[in-house]
């Protein structure tokens, strides 16, 4: 199940709603708590964190909401949606800082990797998203890579939770 979580709504639902801005660490912690509760209650396999109508997002809050959520090993896959350019930058920065990556859905564009992912991972991610489930051999054929390079790169995608491994196939995240 895919659960879309509107962060603007979570901001309004915090015990003392302060503004429509995702700023300050305490605010970020409160919103992260809301995300974790929603995921636990719904048992969703994929959480889409929707930033639509959120005002500012500062680094401290991006760190608390996104980076710490991933670092804590949340039980489902996470995709980010509705980020403006300044918000994309903030999330990208904190993810890189922690050596993390996440998928962002950007308007008028396909899914996009934010954070720490090298060029091989980005190309492999694009192939898996475009072509659907594939083995490392299929990826190696498609990109003209050696099979070890393809296998290693796909394993990296799975480790960063940018794709799923099922048997010897690698699947794209079930995006909404």
**Which residues of this protein are in contact with another protein, per CB under 8 A?**
16, 18-19, 21, 23-27, 55-60, 63-64, 67-68, 84-86, 90, 93-94, 97-98
Rounded to a whole number of angstroms, the minimum distance from the CB of residue 50 to another protein is 18
User: Rounded to whole angstroms, how far apart are CA atoms 84 and 57?
Assistant: 10
- Using the minimum distance from each CB to another protein, give the nearer residue, 93 or 149: 93
Residues near 32 by beta carbon (within 8 Å), at least 6 away in sequence: 64, 65, 68, 69
Q: Which residue has the tokens 């990208």?
A: 92
- Using the minimum distance from each CB to another protein, give the nearer residue, 91 or 128: 91
- Using the minimum distance from each CB to another protein, give the nearer residue, 67 or 80: 67
Sign of CA dihedral 64, 69, 70, 72: positive
Rounded to a whole number of angstroms, the minimum distance from the CB of residue 82 to another protein is 14
- Using the minimum distance from each CB to another protein, give the nearer residue, 27 or 136: 27
Confirm if 100 and 160 have CB atoms less than 8 A apart: yes
User: Rounded to whole angstroms, how far apart are CA atoms 45 and 78?
Assistant: 9
The DSSP 8-state label assigned to residue 99 in this structure reads: T
Rounded to a whole number of angstroms, the minimum distance from the CB of residue 67 to another protein is 6
Rounded to a whole number of angstroms, the minimum distance from the CB of residue 77 to another protein is 21
């Amino acid at each position: 199940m895919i659960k879309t979580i509107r962060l603007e709504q979570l901001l309004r639902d915090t015990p003392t709603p302060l503004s429509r801005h995702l700023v300050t660490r305490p605010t970020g912690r409160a919103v992260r708590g809301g995300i974790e509760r929603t995921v636990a209650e719904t048992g969703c396999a994929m959480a889409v964190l929707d930033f639509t109508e959120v005002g500012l997002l500062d680094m401290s809050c991006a760190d608390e909401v996104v980076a710490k959520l991933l670092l804590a090993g949340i039980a489902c896959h996470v995709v980010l949606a509705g980020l403006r350019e300044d918000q994309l930058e903030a999330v990208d920065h904190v993810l890189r800082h922690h050596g993390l990556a996440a998928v962002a859905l950007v308007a008028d564009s396909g899914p996009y990797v934010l954070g720490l992912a090298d060029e091989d991972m980005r190309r492999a991610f694009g192939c898996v998203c475009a072509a659907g489930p594939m083995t490392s051999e299929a990826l190696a054929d498609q990109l003209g890579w050696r099979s070890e390079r393809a296998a290693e790169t796909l394993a990296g995608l799975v480790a960063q939770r940018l794709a799923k491994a099922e048997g010897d196939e690698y699947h794209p995240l079930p995006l909404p």
